[in-house]
Structure 1
């Protein structure tokens, strides 16, 4: 299932209200962002894709804010 998930996709995380936008995927973990700005890090195996990102959406930066550390740093 993890191979189906890509940056920019909208996903549902088991046990969490969603949908969530995938910001980053690394080492089997996905960094997700909820529409309210809340972030969550979960295993990719607990996610299901709600809507695939278009190529344009995937190329856009997740935020326009200055670079800041992520949960993976």
Structure 2
């Protein structure tokens, strides 16, 4: 079985696809469909349709963008 990584296009069993992998953590993948719907599925239930190009990454989910030099609670 091929490993699932961020940016890959996958098919989720029982769901029309393909889906883009936004993140993988503890054997679960966060997926996003082209229409904006998101879901989480176990990586073992996914089939890789196309691997992400080396060096590319999926867009960060909303609210997870790098804020750079934004002030923090401790500033």
Q: TM-score, normalised by structure 1?
A: 0.77
Structure 1: runs of 5+ lacking an equivalent: 69-73
Give the structure with the larger helix fraction. Answer: 1
Q: How does the TM-score come out when normalised to structure 2? A: 0.75
- Point out where structure 2 has 5 or more consecutive residues left out of the alignment: 66-75
Cα 1:65–1:12 shift into 2, 3 Å? same
Q: Aligned-pair distance for 1:64? A: 7.8
> Distance in 2 between the 1:22 and 1:64 partners?
11
* Larger of the two Rg values belongs to structure: 2
Cα RMSD over matched residues? 2.0
